[in-house]
Amino acid sequence: MDDSAPRSQKVKLAIELEIDGGQRMLGHLFVSAQQRLPDLLNDAQTFLPFEGNDGLIKIIRKSIIRSVTPLGQVTLPTNSNDPYELLGVAPSISDEELKNVYHRRVQETHPDKLVSLGLPAEFVQLANDKVARINDAYDRICKHRQTRGDVGPKWYHGG
């Protein structure tokens, strides 16, 4: 190989990566200046280099990737105003299960957690946006259930 030949310039793209099992990781993928992210994800390569925020490069098998979201985009569904879809739960979910999902979703992306890790401001802003949408969805579900009288504290009788 001729080391004097110019190497393809790579662009570091900040992303959130979700893999099988629901694990989410913040970090970077590398794409060439002429390449789009979908092209990188759908090329013939089986593995993908992923740089975590700790600076370590991990080699990820593409077949385990569930989603890749460029930073600045919220990973919650943006084309829906349905709070159940935003939280990823069914309308038939029990109050206790709803509360647990809500707390888990907030804990996954709480901005204070990212600040304590020393992550860049764009990661913290993404977390703020996600938590705001999670809070709004949970509040809307609770209010809707209370107005129907099928949810709320035992002392709540609707209206």
Percent of the chain with pLDDT over 70: 81
For the segment 12-27, the average pLDDT, to the nearest whole number, is: 86
CB 70 within 8 A of CB 14: yes
Predicted TM-score (pTM) of this structure: 0.48
Mean pLDDT for 109-114 is: 78
The Cα 92–Cα 10 span in angstroms is: 47
Quote the mean pLDDT of the chain: 78
**What pLDDT band is residue 146 in, cutting at 50, 70 and 90?**
confident
Complete domains list, the chain, with CATH: 10-70 (2.30.30.100), 83-148 (1.10.287.110)
| Mean pLDDT, residues 102-119 | 79
Residue 13 to residue 127: CA distance in whole angstroms: 17
How far is residue 103's CA from residue 123's CA, in Å, rounded to a whole number?
20
